[in-house]
Amino acid sequence: MTRQEPADTPLGDAFHLYDTTLRDGAQREGISYSVQDKLAVARLLDELGVGFIEGGWPGALPKDTEFFARAAKGELQLKHAALVAFGATRKAGTTAEADPQVQALLDSEAPVVTLVAKSDLRHIERALRVDVDEACAMVKDTVEFLTKEGRRVFLDAEHFFDGYAYSPETSLRILDAAAHAGADVLVLCDTNGGQLPLGLAETVRTIKEKTGFRLGIHCQDDTSCAVANSVAAVQAGVTHVQCTANGYGERAGNADLFAVTGNLVTKLGLDVLPTGGAAELTRVSHALAEIANIAPYTHQAYVGASAFAHKAGLHASAIKVDPLLYNHIDPSSVGNDMRVLVTEMAGRASLELKGRELGVDLAGRPEALTSAITKVKRLESEGWSFEAADASLELLLRQEADVPAEAPFELESYRVVLDHRADAEVVAEATVKVHVGGQRVIATAEGIGPVHALDAALRKALSPHLSWLDSVELADYKVRILQGHPGTDAVTRVLVQSTDGEREWTTVGVHGNIVEASWLALCDALVHKSTTVAPGLRSGPGAPPPGTPGSPAADVD
Amino acid sequence: MTRQEPADTPLGDAFHLYDTTLRDGAQREGISYSVQDKLAVARLLDELGVGFIEGGWPGALPKDTEFFARAAKGELQLKHAALVAFGATRKAGTTAEADPQVQALLDSEAPVVTLVAKSDLRHIERALRVDVDEACAMVKDTVEFLTKEGRRVFLDAEHFFDGYAYSPETSLRILDAAAHAGADVLVLCDTNGGQLPLGLAETVRTIKEKTGFRLGIHCQDDTSCAVANSVAAVQAGVTHVQCTANGYGERAGNADLFAVTGNLVTKLGLDVLPTGGAAELTRVSHALAEIANIAPYTHQAYVGASAFAHKAGLHASAIKVDPLLYNHIDPSSVGNDMRVLVTEMAGRASLELKGRELGVDLAGRPEALTSAITKVKRLESEGWSFEAADASLELLLRQEADVPAEAPFELESYRVVLDHRADAEVVAEATVKVHVGGQRVIATAEGIGPVHALDAALRKALSPHLSWLDSVELADYKVRILQGHPGTDAVTRVLVQSTDGEREWTTVGVHGNIVEASWLALCDALVHKSTTVAPGLRSGPGAPPPGTPGSPAADVD
């Protein structure tokens, strides 16, 4: 993993789309990535095609150190992006070599390092408590040390805009020290996020003219202008833009990678992503929201579910004639869809399309399509969501198209008992009674929690009868308590991602009781798997006669 | 209600802060205001001190017609704002007098009318299906008719920027027609929301120079630049800005009134609100979110709960020295607060600051502080998160500072049974055994799900002994399955927000078993509440004297 430039993007190294979700984005209140999450985030960003992925601050945070170690061991194979480690310049009064945090940057084996340096005189004097000479030496020494070790170095000039307004000489001296020591890009940071685009563009132009350095931009969203400031900076001459997925970040957040990219690609005509990358913006945005466990923001520019949703009324008929008169871009160019609310037109088309995608042909069956739309609408109003649960949607469409999936088993009942015992031990035990392969089977198992126990009991009951069951594993399990129902009696939505080692599929369950919601999603997962297995292989030796009742998930209808 | 100018704002009629939440904001997917809601929204906007409140489209929407009728009857007494009715210019091939929708604008008795007119040649030809002469006549006739009737008229030039780029002559002719007929402000609308600030400011400057008209701006957020575009337009010469509360609106929404106002007041030094108005921004934003039944966006610029929340340990030590070095404005100037979050990223300084905020003084106790940091770090590495759970953190800090909170009860054991019965009914039942007020109490209750049942059983057991318990309610309940532990045996983090009608507090629980995690958070919530109750009131009247031995099992069922 020694790439130091973006690969396979039309603009190559001439333009840097730089993502810092894993470091600055993780500063958002409520986000806490595990190392596993961080690897998943990096893979998605790389699929999208960003040029640089800042993975974290090795040496400062144990999880970040581990992330880089696992990346170096081969767990992260990046196709497009170069991996970046973030860190500070050496401490005052020491050398770069002797500073353990600088050493940790080397140890991370990241080919690119972004160093943060204070560039506001007030911060240098009051927070660092050194003079400007020493602040410059700290920058120079650290950049030189890392470039000599073969690293490509970018400099984040912290508080640049506020600092430049207060003491331009100081801020310029810091940029000079970094550039002359070998830093490749000088990133002007609006750390407190107080800038507005016209003034910021003016400053960027001035710095560019004065220094001739390659400049970058890093904006926080405290004036709600981070995206606008980033784009204005590009128009003023920067060729390196730092963003975070969905604008995650401290306080009001950072510049949103998806809106910035949408603007660069569709408004400025800059090919900052690999060919086809822009059409992935919506998917990747939503997937990254899932990993952060934050509901995707429906009204997000470009990628939000409502970004191209028009309320029926004044413009509805004109939109049908010429959609581009009422959309600033073609939604499909960023992987999004136009929706006309209340009228069913868009819903029909997209559900028909979805059916085709899932192998359920509804094109010639208008009444089945209408019934499917009605059902999806009703279920979504009750809290179901099929956006991320293709497998559950497929089962629903099959049922409406009169080709229902055959359930491999039937539930009679289950019971889960949870004990917090007097000796403080917590135990969970589940019993299921099911009909499978023509037999009635009762099985009991223990688990760490109620859903784990239930899953274990079900597997125990089914395993002797379903030869394919052992290949199916739970890959992920997500719970969302739906708003508008305060307190613990709220409606719970569970998403279960399953894998058989080759494919992954996601199913959904909704119920007031979290265990029942989980059960519904677990059952759908097995029914879905069963439809992909050749009929003769669906059950073990005791396969039931044809005509076995439908999926247990049908209960929810 | 005949005011046609803003009252009691320093800038008076020289600058218009114009709100269209009740018309364009209501286009947001999911918003549906009742007439009562609309009156409440208008009152809050007037309290804030906006200059103009667009109430809706009388004659087109029955609710809007009723809103104006009730306003005219005296239900809406505005102190600052002038009330505005929105409508279209007359239809093609008729007169303004004869057009019932124009008549409805008069009937609304609103002293100010904003007319929308198409100013993009393509829309004139393809949607209106008239020539430019007739489009101009429609504008001229309607403006003249309404001004003769004593109304002040503004013109919303729809699709202005796209139209001006396509056919500048057409767009300018529409502005001319309106201005010469007596329209006071020509509002340039970025209806499809595709503009970026540098280009938009350039266009505004050109139009201003060419025409000399008083200009306004109306931006949609499809490039995530609506706030930036609005502010850039002001810098380029407009003196009338149309916004919606919290950016509500169709697709990606409109320019957010609160961010725009924050920027105008704190960045451009424009006194667009009455004296003291800016300090109401946060309160009014949240109140308007409540009326719209949309959770306030925590990361909203200026007014979000996280807008001044700092997480990084790096910054926290310096924040202690000088908060303004790390905030772009003084949060109190917009009615918001700074908060320091505690996370694994935080160091000593932020924990000490947090302790002070929570009333636990750790400043003079370095060993207690060290031990608290160690504990917080260990717990966070196990999946706990205290940044949103102040109440649990306070209990932890109290323990480390040797002033532990006294638990109002002690758990012996609990059991939860979940049944999915053969008749497909799902039931949850919980039994708790606790020691409270010197007695051993056993209580059983049913619930919709396991946590609901457990909470109900605990309340049943404690309620006779803790007089304050009935005032405590669950306000919100969030579940997060922590990644890195794939499958259903993952670690679960539960956040419980409680309220006693006066305060809200949040507690956290983490466990492999979701029910146990919920239990831990529920217990912390009650212990925290108990610390705020005077010692004599902690138990109810029947409480035994201290030291009474445990009574025999008393099943309160």
What are the extents of the domains in chain A? 12-292, 314-388
- Spell out the alpha helix ranges (H) of A15-154: 35-48, 62-70, 100-107, 121-123, 132-148
The answer to whether the Cβ–Cβ distance between B344 and A61 falls below 8 Å is: yes
The CA distance from B74 to the nearest CA of chain A, in Å, is 31
Going by C-alpha positions, the residue among B521, B518, B507 that lies closest to residue B386 is B507
The CA distance from B479 to the nearest CA of chain A, in Å, is 6
Cβ pair A291, A37 in contact under 8 A: yes
Mean pLDDT of A344-359: 65
Residue A366: what pLDDT? 85
- Spell out the alpha helix ranges (H) of A447-544: 450-462, 514-531
Cβ pair B53, B84 in contact under 8 A: yes
Task: Give the lowest-confidence range in A7-16, A513-522, B181-190, B288-297.
Answer: B288-297
The answer to whether the Cβ–Cβ distance between A127 and B325 falls below 8 Å is: yes
The amino acid at B406:
E
Confidence of residue A339 (pLDDT cuts 50, 70, 90): low
Confidence of residue B488 (pLDDT cuts 50, 70, 90): very low
The answer to whether the Cβ–Cβ distance between B385 and A428 falls below 8 Å is: no
The CA distance from B337 to the nearest CA of chain A, in Å, is 11
The amino acid at B208:
K
Contact partners, residue A457, CB within 8 Å, separation at least 6 = A414, A430, A431, A432, A443, A444, A445
Distance CA A305, CA B540 (A): 52
The answer to whether the Cβ–Cβ distance between A306 and B251 falls below 8 Å is: yes
Confidence of residue A557 (pLDDT cuts 50, 70, 90): very low
CA A272 to chain centre: 19
Retrieve residue B193's tokens.
């929301």
Confidence of residue B491 (pLDDT cuts 50, 70, 90): confident
Strand partners for B417: A417, B429
Distance CA A196, CA B480 (A): 37
Q: How many residues does chain B have?
A: 557
The answer to whether the Cβ–Cβ distance between A318 and B127 falls below 8 Å is: yes
Report helix, strand or coil for B243.
strand
Test the B interface: residue of A195, A513, A555 with most B CBs within 10 Å: A513
The answer to whether the Cβ–Cβ distance between B488 and A451 falls below 8 Å is: yes
**Does A198 have pLDDT greater than 70?**
yes
The number of beta carbons lying within 10 Å of the beta carbon of residue A449 is: 27
Mean pLDDT of A149-166: 98
The answer to whether the Cβ–Cβ distance between B318 and A291 falls below 8 Å is: no
Whole-prediction pTM = 0.73
Pick from A40, A159, A198: CB nearest B197: A198
- Could you read off the pLDDT of A432-449 as tens digits, one per residue? 999 998 999 999 999 999
Distance CA A15, CA A12 (A): 6
The answer to whether the Cβ–Cβ distance between B196 and A235 falls below 8 Å is: yes
Distance CA A393, CA A376 (A): 8
| B chain contacts of residue A422, beta-carbon cutoff 8 Å | 412-413, 433
| A chain contacts of residue B478, beta-carbon cutoff 8 Å | 481
Residue A487: what pLDDT? 47
- Could you read off the pLDDT of B431-477 as tens digits, one per residue? 999 999 899 999 999 999 999 999 999 999 999 999 999 999 887 78
| B chain contacts of residue A282, beta-carbon cutoff 8 Å | none
**Does B390 have pLDDT greater than 60?**
yes
Distance CA A379, CA A491 (A): 13
Confidence of residue A342 (pLDDT cuts 50, 70, 90): very low
Confidence of residue A320 (pLDDT cuts 50, 70, 90): low
Cα B298 to Cα B139, B304, B306, B336: the distances in Å are: 42, 4, 5, 12
Tokens 């950049």 -> residue: A143
Report the share of chain B in percent with pLDDT over 70.
90
**Does B480 have pLDDT greater than 80?**
no
Confidence of residue A30 (pLDDT cuts 50, 70, 90): confident
The answer to whether the Cβ–Cβ distance between B428 and A492 falls below 8 Å is: no
CA B139 to chain centre: 37
Distance CA B273, CA B173 (A): 34
Residue A555: what pLDDT? 27
Going by C-alpha positions, the residue among A489, A495, A441 that lies closest to residue A469 is A441
The number of beta carbons lying within 10 Å of the beta carbon of residue A314 is: 15
Mean pLDDT of A478-483: 74
Q: What is the mean pLDDT of chain A?
A: 88
Strand partners for A480: A493
**Does A343 have pLDDT greater than 50?**
no
Contact partners, residue A15, CB within 8 Å, separation at least 6 = A9, A51, A239, A240, A270, A272
C-alpha triplet A376, A382, A386: angle, nearest 5°: 45
Report the share of chain B in percent with pLDDT over 90.
65
Going by C-alpha positions, the residue among A279, A205, A285 that lies closest to residue A19 is A285
Distance CA A278, CA A262 (A): 7
Distance CA A499, CA A268 (A): 41
Strand partners for A16: A240
- Could you read off the pLDDT of A253-306 as tens digits, one per residue? 999 999 999 999 999 999 999 999 999 999 899 889 878 878 788 899 999 988
Cβ pair A226, A248 in contact under 8 A: no
C-alpha triplet A485, A478, A42: angle, nearest 5°: 130
The answer to whether the Cβ–Cβ distance between A301 and B222 falls below 8 Å is: yes
The amino acid at B85:
A
Residue A526: what pLDDT? 95
Distance CA A338, CA A282 (A): 13
Backbone angles phi, psi at A494, to 5 degrees: -115, 130
Going by C-alpha positions, the residue among B469, B485, B446 that lies closest to residue B523 is B469
Higher per-residue confidence, B371 vs B432: B432
Mean pLDDT of B6-32: 92
Distance CA A15, CA A5 (A): 10
Contact partners, residue A85, CB within 8 Å, separation at least 6 = A54, A55, A56, A57, A58, A68, A105, A108, A110, A112, A113, A114
The CA distance from B374 to the nearest CA of chain A, in Å, is 14
**Does B175 have pLDDT greater than 90?**
yes
- Interface confidence (ipTM) of the complex: 0.73
The CA distance from B77 to the nearest CA of chain A, in Å, is 31
Mean pLDDT of B77-82: 96
DSSP code, position B91: P
| A chain contacts of residue B312, beta-carbon cutoff 8 Å | 27, 250
- Could you read off the pLDDT of A61-89 as tens digits, one per residue? 889 999 999 999 999 999 999 999 999 99
Q: What is the mean pLDDT of chain B?
A: 88
The number of beta carbons lying within 10 Å of the beta carbon of residue B454 is: 28
| B chain contacts of residue A306, beta-carbon cutoff 8 Å | 28-29, 251-252
Going by C-alpha positions, the residue among B473, B428, B478 that lies closest to residue B449 is B428
The answer to whether the Cβ–Cβ distance between B251 and A477 falls below 8 Å is: no
**Does B72 have pLDDT greater than 90?**
yes
Q: What is the DSSP string of B385-407?
A: --TT-HHHHHHHHHHHTT-PPPP
Strand partners for B217: B188, B241
Shortest CA distance from B199: residue in chain A: A232
- Could you read off the pLDDT of B262-320 as tens digits, one per residue? 999 999 999 999 999 999 999 899 889 878 877 788 899 999 988 998 875 555 666 66
Dihedral through CA A398, CA A506, CA A412, CA A448, nearest 10? 180
Pairing label, strands A16-19, B426-436: unpaired
| B chain contacts of residue A487, beta-carbon cutoff 8 Å | 452, 473-477
Shortest CA distance from A449: residue in chain B: B513
| B chain contacts of residue A513, beta-carbon cutoff 8 Å | 418, 426, 428, 448-450
Distance CA A339, CA B27 (A): 14
- Spell out the alpha helix ranges (H) of A86-131: 100-107, 121-123
Report the share of chain A in percent with pLDDT over 70.
90
Retrieve residue A110's tokens.
């990241």
CATH of B12-292, one of 3.40.50.300, 3.90.1640.10, 2.60.40.60, 3.20.20.70: 3.20.20.70
Going by C-alpha positions, the residue among A90, A134, A133 that lies closest to residue A113 is A90
Cβ pair B80, B50 in contact under 8 A: yes
| B chain contacts of residue A499, beta-carbon cutoff 8 Å | none
Contact partners, residue B328, CB within 8 Å, separation at least 6 = A192, A193, A194, A222, A223
Confidence of residue A384 (pLDDT cuts 50, 70, 90): confident
Distance CA B486, CA B491 (A): 9
Report helix, strand or coil for A389.
coil
Task: Give the lowest-confidence range in A309-323, A384-398, A468-482.
Answer: A309-323
The answer to whether the Cβ–Cβ distance between A420 and B516 falls below 8 Å is: yes
The answer to whether the Cβ–Cβ distance between A449 and B126 falls below 8 Å is: no
C-alpha triplet B445, A452, A482: angle, nearest 5°: 60
| A chain contacts of residue B490, beta-carbon cutoff 8 Å | 477
Pick from B223, B317, B411: CB nearest A301: B223
| A chain contacts of residue B483, beta-carbon cutoff 8 Å | 33-34, 36-37, 40, 291, 476
Q: Residue B291: CA atoms inside 13 Å, Cβ hemisphere, count?
A: 25
Retrieve residue A316's tokens.
């509805």
- Could you read off the pLDDT of B494-552 as tens digits, one per residue? 888 888 877 888 899 999 899 999 999 999 999 999 988 865 554 444 443 333 333 33
Distance CA A384, CA A320 (A): 29
Cβ pair B254, B230 in contact under 8 A: no
Task: Give the lowest-confidence range in A30-39, A251-260, B81-90.
Answer: A30-39
- Could you read off the pLDDT of B339-360 as tens digits, one per residue? 776 665 456 777 787 788 778 8
Cβ pair A76, A43 in contact under 8 A: yes
Tokens 């073969």 -> residue: A150
The number of beta carbons lying within 10 Å of the beta carbon of residue A48 is: 26
Distance CA A474, CA A464 (A): 19
The number of beta carbons lying within 10 Å of the beta carbon of residue A31 is: 20
Tokens 């008749």 -> residue: B423
Going by C-alpha positions, the residue among A476, A515, A518, A478 that lies closest to residue A499 is A476
Long-range contacts for B358-366 (Cβ within 8 Å, ≥24 apart)? B358/B390, B358/B393, B358/B394, B358/B397, B359/B394, B360/B394, B360/B397, B360/B398, B360/B401, B360/B403, B361/B401, B362/B397, B362/B400, B362/B401, B365/B401
Retrieve residue B490's tokens.
């993952």
The CA distance from A253 to the nearest CA of chain B, in Å, is 7
Residue B483: what pLDDT? 55
The answer to whether the Cβ–Cβ distance between B483 and A489 falls below 8 Å is: no
Residue A540: what pLDDT? 45
